Structure 1
Amino acid sequence: MRPGRRDGGDSGIALRSPLLDEFRANKARKWELRDIFGYIVEFSGDQHGSRFIQQKLESATSEEKQVVFDEIVPNNSLQLIQDVFGNYVIQKLFEHGTQVQKTVLANTMEGHILALSLQMYGCRVVQKAVEYILPDQQGAFVRELEIHVLRCVKDANGNHVIQKLIERVAPDRLAFVNTFRGNVFDLSTHPYGCRVLQRCFEHLPEEHTRPLLDELHRYTINLMQDQFGNYVIQFVLEHGQPQDQALVISKLRGQMLQMARHKFASNVCEKALVTADAVSRSILIDEIITPKQDGVSPIVTMMKDQFANYVLQRALTVSEGEQQELLISKVRPQLASMRRYSSAYSKHLISSTYSTLVK
């Protein structure tokens, strides 16, 4: 970097070149990429300079892109990949570079994939690279992370890289998925692990996901009640194979009232009512309608509960025919007495779906 004035920044005291000073001060001038050749690395690490390079790379000539590339790769690529502003320039090189440039740029990352995946800005570049590099190089990235995959899954940055690999890399290269076996409950109840599992179910073929799903089904009721696990169960209900959806719904039978009153499981109850086939939905709603052996009406209990009331509203909207008429007839007498309750959710109920459906 050429000598210039001192400027404070995140990395402490840095020298800023006169050219970058002029660029930041003179917005009226029509700047072109060639005006900053020789200063690409410095500009990439500056908020305004980085944005300028990003914009120009989208329409740059092959020759201009090569100059930018040569100033960055290989000596400065790792530095910029991990930089708050520089990482965006590297991402643009993956988007707009030639395949040879993408390969060479990714080569400079090899041997550092784990460290980059765990780094706030590096993880974004690794994800972008995975989208644009060739399959063999994707495989090289995977191999660097394989023995560290659970660490990455549970990392705030690394989990995004693992998700991207699952989305973009051929399943036969993703042997690390076997590491998830025996860890399904642990991953499902983790804030990042639950996302990774959902990506597996979304993108991988049956032979990869079946062992994970079979393991998941052993913990269905527990996962419904977990702040993260409930999302995994909802995903299976919404996107899973019919046999997996049916298995989840079968676990709900006999548990609807208890689960509907739970902060997290109530979301699963709603999803089940929406996604179930007509027969299964009818069985679940019958459970809501039918009084318990002690004579207590589930409907009354649900109307007064801060979570279950949403499940009841959902049942009202998805039920059909005679069953819906019966449900409405059970709800209607309770509305008048509900008006005597002063709690916020009771007031909400009266002005919500109930009032719309129950004339």
Structure 2
Amino acid sequence: MKLDTEMEMLLNEIPLLHHGGLLGGDAEAGDLSFLIHELAAMGIVDGDDEPPAPGAGAGSIFPKKGDDLLASPHAFSAANHHAHMPSLFDSFPFDGADGWCSPAPASVVATPRSRCKNAWRKNAAATTTSPKKCGAAAAALTKSQSGESLAGLRGFMYHVARDQHGCRFLQQRLDDGKREVDLIFAGVSRHAAQLMVDPFGNYLMQKLLAVCDAGQRMALVLALTADAMVLVRISLNVHGTRAVQKLIESLRAEEEIRLVIKSLHPGFLELIKDPNGNHVVQKCLQSFDAEDNKPIFDAAALHCLEIGMQCHGCCVLQRCIARSRGEHREKLVVAIACNGFELAQDAYGNYVVQYVMDLKIPKANSSLAQQFEGKYIHLSMQKFSSNVVEKCLKVFKEADKANIILELLATPHLEQLLQHPYANYVIYSALQNSKGSLHSALTNAIRPHVELLRTSPYCKRIYSRALLKK
């Protein structure tokens, strides 16, 4: 209990010390070093921001193979931090027309510790001003002052990055030059996996990825891909998916791309079915060339039926077809065509089949025609597959179109198709896409049911004198 009380007391001092240093307090008030050392000794913060060497001891918090990232005391949860620590950048009372924070009264000051304790108690119930004022004041610092501020946060930058205002402050400092980028990178790189899924820290990581150099980017890639499932879990997170997409956009070296694709591959099915993860896969397809995406194409072809019948998966599958070339595309199209009958009847899979049909690849369309033959009536009377039959009447070769129309004409109860809520659209498409003797045979079969067409709510399109006289 005593340790918890002391810890809370130390954490409560941080905002006032930080604002004192940033916003015009004396040098002693702005020095965080004594507090950082005490927090480090209690195990609250790290005393060293430098990334550990590979294979470092228990002090390393880079994810290691076999570790449960979600179970880590540092991982994927801001609650562990925010439950005990107020914001480093929460606003403090302002007095004076210029809007700057006033230093603590001289009568209160005895030592840095006592001054902060007394000021914190005194101002605890005071009305605070908007954080925008403190943010504007911090933005007015010169570059040299910014560097000193970052150096003062050494050992505590990870916690600053998980704070709303602290994250914004660090993002602003990234614009100040290479020295500031290096300082921030040294302070947060060890915690990349945790920050990428943090509600605030993910924004810092996105910006850091855009400004870091090639060596720093490779260091992050190596850390994030050391355990394949770490990057998968980050990609499934609502905040992490954005950071991973930014990581993918920033990759340039072939080795970086290979490591990321290899790391994502074990979670491919889970990623494409997830509302967050599917965007990561699509970003890979968009950012990398066909050869780099080969593992994704192979997995998509192998699991095309399962993928195509899922709301997010059907979009990814179509994107795979669009981005693939040569043998990769052929393999995908053949796999989809072989499962065409099942996909055509699915709420999402029918869109994949129609997409393949629009490519007008003879081998694929011929395979689909063989699967559908003798089943067009069944397909026409279903909500989703009726759309596929309509597409067949538009893109198939004339011989295959004739087979569809002959199958429609062979049914003993054509009037049921005419009045059916879905099959009537197929009849209408058949009238539009037929000609010659086939068109005449179809119109002759429909004419005896003209009175039915006039009264049925589903036959308005078919009941067209111009169309029947064509």
TM-score, scaled to structure 2: 0.58
Cα distance in 1 for partners of 2:238, 2:360 equals 32
Taking a change above 3 Å as real, the CA distance of residues 182 and 132 of structure 1, as seen in their structure-2 partners, is: closer
Counterpart contact for 1:34–1:64, Cα < 8 Å: no
Which residues of 2 match residues 219-234 of structure 1 at below 5 A?
219-234=339-354
- Deviation of 1:309 (Å): 3.0
What runs of 5+ residues in structure 1 fail to find an aligned partner? none
Which residues of 2 match residues 133-148 of structure 1 at below 5 A?
133-134=251-252, 135-148=254-267
Taking a change above 3 Å as real, the CA distance of residues 50 and 262 of structure 1, as seen in their structure-2 partners, is: farther
Of 30-39 and 223-232, deviating more is 30-39
Taking a change above 3 Å as real, the CA distance of residues 164 and 287 of structure 1, as seen in their structure-2 partners, is: farther
Cα distance in 1 for partners of 2:289, 2:345 equals 34
Cα distance in 1 for partners of 2:247, 2:259 equals 12
Taking a change above 3 Å as real, the CA distance of residues 76 and 213 of structure 1, as seen in their structure-2 partners, is: same
From 234, 244, 248, the counterpart of 1:130: 248
Taking a change above 3 Å as real, the CA distance of residues 211 and 333 of structure 1, as seen in their structure-2 partners, is: same
Which residues of 2 match residues 154-233 of structure 1 at below 5 A?
154-173=273-292, 174-175=294-295, 177-179=297-299, 182-233=302-353
SS in 2 for 1:3: helix
- Deviation of 1:137 (Å): 0.3
From 100, 103, 110, the counterpart of 2:225: 110
SS in 2 for 1:74: helix
Taking a change above 3 Å as real, the CA distance of residues 323 and 108 of structure 1, as seen in their structure-2 partners, is: same
State yes or no: 1:16 paired with 2:86. yes
What is the identity, as a one-letter code, of the residue corresponding to 2:347? Q
Taking a change above 3 Å as real, the CA distance of residues 213 and 71 of structure 1, as seen in their structure-2 partners, is: same
Alignment partner, residue 90 of structure 1: 205
Alignment partner, residue 302 of structure 1: 417
- Deviation of 1:201 (Å): 2.0
Counterpart contact for 1:332–1:358, Cα < 8 Å: no
Cα distance in 2 for partners of 1:197, 1:26 equals 46
From 55, 66, 71, the counterpart of 2:181: 66
- Deviation of 1:139 (Å): 0.3
Which residues of 2 match residues 241-256 of structure 1 at below 5 A?
241-256=361-376
What is the identity, as a one-letter code, of the residue corresponding to 1:3? I
Counterpart contact for 2:417–2:424, Cα < 8 Å: yes
- Deviation of 1:122 (Å): 1.9
Counterpart contact for 1:20–1:43, Cα < 8 Å: no
From 361, 371, 386, the counterpart of 1:266: 386
Number of positions where the alignment pairs a residue of Structure 1 with one of Structure 2: 343
Alignment partner, residue 121 of structure 1: 239
SS in 1 for 2:364: helix
From 348, 351, 356, the counterpart of 1:236: 356
- Deviation of 1:136 (Å): 1.4
What is the identity, as a one-letter code, of the residue corresponding to 1:273? L
1:16-48 deviations in Å (ceiling 9; x for gaps): 336343698154788375668658866754667
Counterpart contact for 1:238–1:275, Cα < 8 Å: yes
Counterpart contact for 2:454–2:463, Cα < 8 Å: no
Cα distance in 1 for partners of 2:426, 2:234 equals 44
What runs of 5+ residues in structure 2 fail to find an aligned partner? 1-10, 17-76, 93-127
What is the identity, as a one-letter code, of the residue corresponding to 2:409? P
* Percent identity over paired residues: 25
Alignment root-mean-square deviation, CA: 4.4
- Deviation of 1:221 (Å): 1.4
What is the identity, as a one-letter code, of the residue corresponding to 2:242? R
Taking a change above 3 Å as real, the CA distance of residues 50 and 324 of structure 1, as seen in their structure-2 partners, is: farther
